[in-house]
Chains A and B, each alone.
Chain A
Amino acid sequence: MSDKKLISLDKLPLNCTGEIEYIKKSCRNYRRLLEMGFTKGCSITPLYLSPMGDPAAYCIRGTVIALRKEDASDILIVQKEGI
């Protein structure tokens, strides 16, 4: 618990897994993200960055979902240890 540091999803390096802590309520797509399965405690892994750097594709609950940077920055996560 001591080194539990919150970072936003877009800061998570590729192929590192994080756990969703919370989504900012101010996020325009708050509800839609929940419906797509972006909920607290869920593991999420950035897989690819598109050729121009944005959007990025994330593996969550077994599917690959692409998010733009603005949306990803509203999702706060805790990076998991190791791979």
Chain B
Amino acid sequence: MYDDCCVISLAGNPNTGKSTVFNALTGLRQHTGNWTGKTVVTAEGKFYYKDKCFKIVDLPGMYSVNPNSPDEKAAVDFMSSKKSSLTVAVLDATNLERNLILGLQIIEQCSNVIVCVNLIDEAEKKNISIDLDMLSSLLGVPVIGTNARNQKGLDKLKETIYNCAKLKNDEKIKTYYGNISNIVKKAEKIYNMSVSCCCSNKCGYDRKIDAVILSRKFGIPIMLFMLGIIFWITIFGANYPSQILSGAFNFIEEKLIYLFNYLGFSENIKGFFIYGMYRTLSWVIAVMLPPMAIFFPLFTFMEDLGVLPRIAFNLDCCFKKAKAHGKQVLCMCMGFGCNAAGVTACRIIDSPRERLIAILTNNFVPCNGRYPTLIALSTIFVAGITGSFVSIKVALVILIAIVLSVAITLIISRLLAETVLKGMPSSFILELPPYRRPQYGKIIVRSFLDRTFFVLLRAIAVAAPAGAIIWLLQNVTIGDTNIINYISQLLEPFAFLMGLDGFILLAFILGIPANEIVIPLIIMFYLGNGSLTNTESVTEMANVFFAHGWTIKTAICTMIFSLNHFPCATTLWTIFKETKSIKWTLLSFILPTTVGITICIAANFVMSLFL
């Protein structure tokens, strides 16, 4: 069916509104972000014009046809291959001079090109007027001015695509401009001949905002404050929807039990499917969904606004010292939501070496799945359930955990850069794009579909089978005891050394499908009832812990191990897909685990001396 379609590539610098053009053409609302390298996966969409079908491929943003990153390579390969019969080069009208450099390269590389000058309204506001006919005659290709955000010029673009797609291969003209210096000179010349600009100060408002956000005094405090607010909204805002969800799941569970009883299934079948699979699955969804549904839209909001590259700018110095890339901080921010999403986000880093560092260390920042563990334990053991200022103390513990995790990330990055991943530090050439007004409706829809839904689906795929296995381990008995007890006894001596006990360590191991189920697993093992149990209150949970000999030492070691241990199954799978190497996936497993075990043993030893 696709064979009938004419394939069109959409190429251009980052931040030129390529994705907006794509959305406007196809109606498939692909998310548009305001930072370099948003389109990490090429999006495809179809549209019909007159009698023809067009398949349009949105390529990652690039600065040149000489690929510097995997992102760019994919884009250039596709664009110049036979698969693509027409290339639409999207150029930013507000910054045409720089954009023309790529534009000329695309015209040189691909034979059938249409230039689309986007954001033409924004340019008008800045008093930039562009002579499109002049530009077209200078470039030798059709030039269309558009403002994709409000559909301006799109019909003309479609008409031009329709006409150009009819050209046969032999009708195409090849152009050569020579080396890069000549291309830049040519771009300058074309720019001067076709664009007149009466206002020299092109970035007025942005500069005023940047003067504060990037300043020495306020830069870092503002950033910390913003991140703090986001975490606070995510963690505490997620409580209510979580409760509602788990209530709903309980209700369904009751009905399911009723149904199974009615159909006359045996206790074992009921246990396996309902207490094993269903309960684990519903637990993971109830705990995982609300924070993600809150965190990702907030994150996307910052992304659209254009704040993220500025965070990288402010913090690059720390990462330079760790011999890593400033953009790693963006992957880490994403990792606070979900490490799997964080690992995917590492694609924005150009150099393969620094990208690997970012991928391997991403798991050191705690994701949403680990906050419940940190919150529950710090509430019980650090703040004291009945004490005063509980939420402030808990927030403080979380803050310490985050600072610690960032410090460990930097240390490990440095360690990797000096050992297995030696090499020259690559470039840090980062564009700080103009601030743009986010498109609110789109944020909610897209970030939910793009990220939340994606992560959730993967989690569900592992949670249900894992639930079944856990139920089997708990309910299959050899002799008098079940398999869980056997394994935990085996782990006991080692766990003791780390300040934990066999059950806790086993819970972490069985919690590999999702970090969310670690605490419920521990409670399930302690209570010895064959399924995950909803502990109604923190007090109840605290009683279980105290009854099994937990002290503040146990709590601290558990929290440390929760921060530093092997990535969850989803993240491991993502790492494998990103690196395409078992070696690196294995290292990403071993590295945090070793760090976690070492710190736990050390912390246990030190605390034994004082407590």
Contact = CB atoms under 8 A, between A and B. Distances in A.
B219 to A, nearest CB: 4
A80 B564 CA distance: 53
A50 B211 CA distance: 10
B63 interface: yes
A48 B98 contact: no
B211 A34 contact: no
B239 interface: no
Contacts of A63: 95, 98, 431-433
- Chain A contact-residue range equals 20 to 34
Contacts of A7: none
A37 to B, nearest CB: 4
A36 to B, nearest CB: 6
B606 interface: no
A67 interface: yes
A51 B97 contact: no
B430 interface: yes
B271 interface: no
Contacts of B433: 63-64
B427 A32 contact: yes
A54 B428 CA distance: 11
Contacts of B219: 50-51
Interface string B213-231: 0111001100000000000
B216 A51 contact: yes
A66 B430 contact: yes
Chain A binding surface, main DSSP class: mixed
A35 B63 CA distance: 7
A52 B425 CA distance: 18
Interface in A24-79: 28-29, 31-37, 39, 47-55, 57, 59, 61-68, 70-71
Given A48-B211, A50-B313, A59-B203, A31 B180 contact: yes
Contacts of B210: 47-48, 57, 64
B527 interface: no
Nearest to B428: A68
A51 B316 CA distance: 10
A64 B430 CA distance: 9
A52 B214 CA distance: 10
B64 A37 contact: no
A32 B317 contact: no
Contact of A67 (B94, B102, B428): B428
B429 interface: yes
B207 interface: yes
Contact of A36 (B63, B203, B424, B426): B63
Given A28-B424, A31-B180, A52 B64 contact: no
Select the residue from B184, B315, B425 with max chain A CB neighbours within 10 A: B184
B242 interface: no
Contact of B214 (A37, A50, A53): A50
B314 interface: yes
Nearest to A48: B214
A35 B318 contact: no
Nearest to B217: A51
A6 B202 CA distance: 27
Contacts of A65: 429-432
A67 B68 CA distance: 16
B428 A71 contact: yes
A62 B97 contact: yes
Contacts of B211: 48
A19 to B, nearest CB: 14
B185 interface: yes
Contacts of A37: 97-98, 101, 184, 187
A62 B96 CA distance: 9
Interface string B197-211: 000001100110011
A64 B320 contact: no
B343 to A, nearest CB: 24
Contacts of B318: 52
B432 A57 contact: yes
A29 B69 CA distance: 13
B181 A39 contact: yes
A25 to B, nearest CB: 12
A35 B101 contact: yes
A51 B215 contact: yes
B317 A54 contact: yes
Nearest to A34: B180
Given A50-B313, A57-B313, A64 B432 contact: yes
Contact of B429 (A29, A47, A50, A62): A29
A63 B320 CA distance: 23
Contacts of A47: 207, 210
Contacts of A51: 214-216, 219-220, 314, 317
B313 A31 contact: no
Contacts of A31: 64, 66, 180
Contacts of A33: 429
A64 to B, nearest CB: 4
A33 B63 CA distance: 10
B97 to A, nearest CB: 5
B316 A54 contact: yes
Contacts of A71: 427-429
A70 B207 CA distance: 25
Contacts of B64: 31-32, 35
B339 to A, nearest CB: 27
A33 B203 CA distance: 21
Contact of B216 (A39, A49, A62, A70): A49
Contacts of B206: 64
22 contacts: A29-B427, A29-B429, A31-B66, A35-B66, A35-B180, A37-B187, A50-B214, A50-B219, A50-B315, A52-B317, A53-B317, A54-B317, A55-B313, A57-B313, A62-B95, A63-B95, A64-B203, A66-B431, A68-B427, A68-B428, A70-B425, A71-B428
Interface of B: 63-64, 66, 68, 94-95, 97-98, 101-102, 180-181, 184-185, 187-188, 202-203, 206-207, 210-211, 214-216, 219-220, 309, 313-318, 320, 326, 424-433
